[in-house]
Homo-oligomer: A and B are copies of this chain.
Amino acid sequence: MRMAQLSTTSGIPVATIKYYLREGLLPAGERQGPNQSLYGPEHLRRLRVIRGLLEVGGLSIAAAHQVIDAIDSDLGLSHTFDIAQRTVSPQIDGAALSPEAVAQVDAVLSGWHVSPDNPGRLAAARVLQTFAELGQPDLSGWVPGYAAAALAVAEADLDEIDARTDRESKTEMVVVGTVLGDALFAALRRAAQEHVSARRYPAPPNP
């Protein structure tokens, strides 16, 4: 299909598609002449991945580039997972973290197989350090519930990846699932907070 049709079918303006092409997020079409290229279903699919990562996942162009390169690479699943995780995690200098916060996280992750430079381990320590600086060093009633829920979600993530049969679909789920899974969980947490609040504090009847 031509650019105009790619735009109509995807619902993405031509100017935006040209921007993705210039940024190298979308591979070039098959050149038909000086001002015309043809695009196939793989371009349409890639456009939808790009939009999901940028608009729904909130990634920067640079971050989307990194994870899309990972989908296109021949890396194994665990390596792709590693790239996706690092791309969507804040860069944290482990040396700048307080030893107390790191020890708190390690106590929560006790018994888990987690390498010292796992981006989640450091990011979790950073959050706990922030609470400690706010005068809230004891979150022992709060954090374990998060860890148990995170483990359940990780099992669901791996179940979904295992259920896929072809390599491309698995890799795409690793990348898109890592990015959009955060957005999905945060969204469902808001809905669950309203539900739990309503149950705990029923509104008084109208007078």
Which residues of A does B touch, CB under 8 Å?
45, 48-49, 51-52, 56, 58, 78, 81, 85, 88-90, 108-109, 112-115, 118-124, 126-128, 130-131, 133-136, 139, 141-143, 145-160, 162-163, 172-173, 176-178, 180-201
Contact = CB atoms under 8 A, between A and B. Distances in A.
Given A58-B90, A120-B192, 17 more contacts: A88-B186, A89-B187, A113-B198, A118-B194, A119-B190, A121-B190, A122-B187, A123-B183, A127-B187, A136-B173, A145-B152, A145-B155, A146-B153, A149-B149, A158-B200, A182-B186, A186-B186
Given A120-B191, A183-B123, A196 B151 contact: yes
A131 B196 CA distance: 28
Contact of A180 (B108, B109, B130, B194): B130
A160 B176 contact: no
B159 A142 contact: yes
Nearest to A49: B134
A124 B191 contact: yes
A150 B180 contact: no
A197 B115 CA distance: 12
Given A48-B130, A120-B190, A190-B120, A195 B146 contact: no
Contact of A187 (B49, B124, B136): B124
25 contacts: A48-B134, A49-B134, A78-B201, A85-B194, A112-B194, A113-B199, A118-B190, A120-B187, A121-B190, A122-B187, A123-B187, A124-B187, A124-B188, A128-B184, A139-B160, A141-B160, A145-B159, A149-B150, A150-B189, A151-B196, A152-B152, A154-B189, A158-B196, A185-B185, A185-B189
Nearest to A56: B130
B180 A81 contact: no
